[in-house]
């Protein structure tokens, strides 16, 4: 084998990591062994919408995988109640141990039994990984002890005393509680090898910040941005229309505490302004959708109504300014403030005129409806500064940029949140951006590029009004792949009672996706084998209670927005889907509503999950069959070339002298 000059340069660099035949050979052996291991389990979730407790329970339980594994391990040796208790302990170890300590009289015996059981579970879930990978996941304080327990056969007579001795020492030194907590966390980490979030972490529910904090703990995680995520990302970058949108939605869904308490955004200027300007306004259309988690008096609810109306009017003004400076967005139909007759309090939309249900617009100048008053401008400037200075929000934005994108291709699955904009004829819609037409995959690539350039340009220069306009467009734009509708009827829902104006026409994609042809077309567009690949989609809740099937296109597309957010559950009839892809195939888990973490712990209640097998492989998938396997095979090939270079004298070995 002859090497080019460029290849020799690369192999010399590689030899710095593997400086001898022995080390290169050892690595080849290790990598080839990894290729034969079973593929890790992937979990797919979408449209979490701030529902932290439900999200945490689904992830902690791995959509019921942990409970099923416990059932397999202990079969007839444990009662169902004992299996439930062990599963709950793994999900919530700290909380469960506190309850046990209150009622358990023989606590040392409980610790001993529990440690044995957890070790068996951990040994089972770690069996598909290399020792090296498991070692990297071990908690620092207990790494050596756990590794010993995982690789000791306690059934062997000569190891029984050693095994029991470790357990007794853990208990006698007062470290049993901490050990159980860490062992449970290790089990949870090992059960989910990769976590895919197919959009919409934010809005509706109260704790998107806690969800991201949880995701930050995962090495194997990716996020496909959703339209609600884009609102928060754009707001974090300083887009005033999206800042106004974010606060309006938070007020509407009783989540202002997320903005103020979780992210430290100062809402006092807005509250003060709203109470002054809308002092005697009933703000009837702006009642928040109270979840029952908060206890507000009438005055507090009224203040939220005033704030919501104030920021809604500001939002419509800022959007109007943006639409006027961006005629290429083709959103002139959203320039509604100029269509209001302020004498008759009617509005013209299309060819029809409708009566407004609200007649108080103290900050709108009929001759110049989109200009902010001085007070409104001051409120928005202060809010924008607060968003840009929120350390936590900026850290979360960085996470979403680093781990996220418009789509992801991974292990023969194509994931994206909304849609691929289509024409009624089933062709990819051509969208003009800065003088160039894009469609299909290049369109999503362009949107992704704009968002990243916007962020880094703003970081370096402090301004990027051009990019921020496009970030806004991805929220309500008619050709946004994240939105997928011709318009967002926010104004109509607030100010017009006639519900015909509330309708939002979906992109043809959402009708065509029932057909196998669309999935094949999309998969081919992303250079994927349509016979052996799937699309994982979110965004539009699947109305299971009305008979809708989450599996589309003869199994090639799976829609996993099942209504994890409480706001959507009356429509869907369930509380979310999780897609599970393990070495045996694809499974879809449909979850019943999650009552509460407290009940899950005290009553050992799990989410009721209906698990259905979508696709079973005839031969168990190995790491060698995955994207990771492809990369490992490339590394093996490079290392084999390095061996040739060593043996033919192109590169000298560096052997350690002992």
- What residues of the chain score a pLDDT lower than 70? 152-159, 291-295, 458-466, 545, 562, 571-574, 607-609, 656-658
Residues near 98 by beta carbon (within 8 Å), at least 6 away in sequence: none
What is residue 369's three-state secondary structure?
Answer: coil
pLDDT at 658: 46
Between CA 658 and CA 531 the distance in angstroms is 56
- Reference 506, options 529, 481, 525, 523; nearest CA is 481
Between CA 519 and CA 228 the distance in angstroms is 25
- DSSP labels, 596-638: -HHHHHHS-PPPPEEEEEEEE-SS--BGGGSHHHHHHHHHHHH
- DSSP labels, 568-603: GHHHHSSS-EEEEEETTEEEEEEEPPP--HHHHHHS
Q: Are strands 413-416 and 534-537 parallel, antiparallel or unpaired?
A: parallel
Residues near 343 by beta carbon (within 8 Å), at least 6 away in sequence: none
The whole-angstrom distance between residue 251's C-alpha and the CA centroid of its chain comes to 23
How many Cβ atoms sit within 10 Å of the Cβ of residue 179? Answer: 24
Q: Are strands 551-552 and 577-582 parallel, antiparallel or unpaired?
A: unpaired
Rounded to the nearest 5 percent, the helix, strand and coil shares of the chain are: 55, 10, 35
Cβ proximity of 541 and 571 under 8 Å: yes
Cα angle, residue 285 at apex, residues 281 and 287 outer, rounded to 5° = 90
Strand order across the beta sheet in which 534-537 lies: 407-410, 413-416, 534-537, 557-559, 551-552
pLDDT at 283: 96
pLDDT at 155: 62
Residues near 142 by beta carbon (within 8 Å), at least 6 away in sequence: 178, 179, 182, 183
């Amino acid at each position: 084998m002859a090497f080019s000059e460029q290849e020799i340069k690369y192999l010399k660099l590689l030899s710095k990591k593997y400086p001898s035949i022995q080390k290169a050979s050892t690595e080849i052996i290790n990598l080839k062994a990894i290729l034969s291991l079973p593929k890790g389990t992937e979990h797919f979730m979408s449209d979490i919408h701030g529902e932290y407790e439900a999200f945490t329970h689904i992830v902690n339980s791995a959509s019921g995988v942990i409970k099923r594994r416990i059932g397999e391990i202990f079969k007839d040796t444990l009662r169902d109640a004992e299996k439930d208790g062990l599963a709950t302990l793994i999900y919530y170890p700290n909380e469960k141990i506190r309850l046990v300590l209150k009622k358990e009289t023989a606590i040392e015996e409980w610790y001993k039994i529990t440690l044995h059981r957890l070790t068996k579970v951990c040994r089972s879930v770690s069996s598909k990984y290399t020792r090296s990978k498991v070692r990297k996941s071990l908690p620092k304080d207990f790494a050596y002890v756990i590794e010993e327990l995982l690789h000791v056969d306690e059934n062997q007579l000569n190891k029984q005393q050693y095994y029991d001795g470790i357990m007794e020492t853990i208990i006698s030194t007062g470290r049993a509680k901490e050990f159980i907590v860490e062992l449970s966390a290790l089990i949870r980490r090992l059960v989910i090898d990769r976590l895919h979030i197919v959009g919409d972490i934010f809005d509706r529910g109260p704790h998107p910040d806690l969800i991201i904090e949880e995701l930050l703990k995962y090495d194997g995680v990716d996020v496909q941005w959703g339209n609600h995520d884009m609102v928060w990302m754009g707001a974090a970058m300083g887009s005033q229309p999206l800042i106004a949108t974010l606060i309006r939605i938070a007020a509407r869904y009783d989540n202002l505490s997320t903005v103020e308490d979780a992210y430290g955004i100062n809402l006092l200027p807005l509250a003060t302004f709203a109470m002054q300007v809308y002092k005697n306004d009933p703000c009837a259309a702006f009642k928040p959708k109270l979840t029952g988690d908060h206890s507000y008096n009438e005055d507090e609810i009224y203040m939220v109504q005033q704030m919501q109306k104030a920021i809604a009017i500001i939002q419509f003004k800022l959007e109007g300014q943006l639409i006027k400076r961006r005629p290429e967005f083709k959103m002139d139909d959203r320039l509604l403030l100029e269509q209001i007759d302020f004498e008759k309090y009617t509005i013209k939309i299309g060819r029809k005129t409708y009566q407004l249900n609200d007649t108080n617009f103290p900050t709108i100048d009929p001759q110049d409806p989109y200009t902010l008053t001085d007070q409104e401008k001051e409120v928005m400037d202060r809010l924008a500064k607060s968003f840009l200075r929120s350390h936590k929000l900026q850290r979360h934005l960085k996470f979403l940029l680093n781990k996220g994108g418009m789509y992801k291709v991974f292990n023969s699955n194509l994931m994206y949140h909304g849609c691929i904009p289509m024409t009624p004829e089933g062709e990819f819609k051509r969208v003009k951006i800065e003088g160039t037409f894009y469609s299909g995959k290049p369109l999503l690539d362009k949107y992704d590029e704009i968002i990243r350039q916007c962020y880094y340009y703003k970081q370096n220069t402090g301004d990027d009004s051009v990019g921020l306009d496009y970030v806004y467009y991805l929220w309500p734009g008619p050709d946004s792949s994240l939105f997928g509708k011709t318009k967002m009827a926010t104004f109509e829902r607030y100010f017009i009672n006639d519900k015909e104006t509330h309708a939002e026409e979906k992109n043809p994609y959402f009708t065509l996706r029932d057909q196998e042809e669309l999935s094949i077309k999309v998969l081919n567009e992303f250079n994927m084998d349509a016979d052996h690949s799937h699309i994982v989609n979110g965004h539009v809740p699947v109305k299971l209670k009305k008979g809708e099937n989450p599996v589309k296109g003869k199994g090639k597309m799976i829609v996993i927005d099942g209504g994890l957010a409480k706001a959507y559950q009356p429509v869907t009839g369930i509380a979310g889907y999780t897609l599970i892809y393990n070495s045996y195939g694809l499974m879809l888990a449909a979850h019943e509503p999650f009552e509460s973490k407290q009940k899950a712990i005290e009553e050992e209640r799990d989410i009721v999950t209906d698990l259905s097998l979508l696709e079973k492989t005839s031969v168990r998938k190995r790491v060698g069959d995955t994207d990771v396997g492809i990369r490992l095979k490339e590394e093996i090939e490079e290392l084999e070339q390095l061996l040739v270079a060593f043996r033919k004298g192109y590169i000298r070995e560096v052997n350690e002298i002992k």
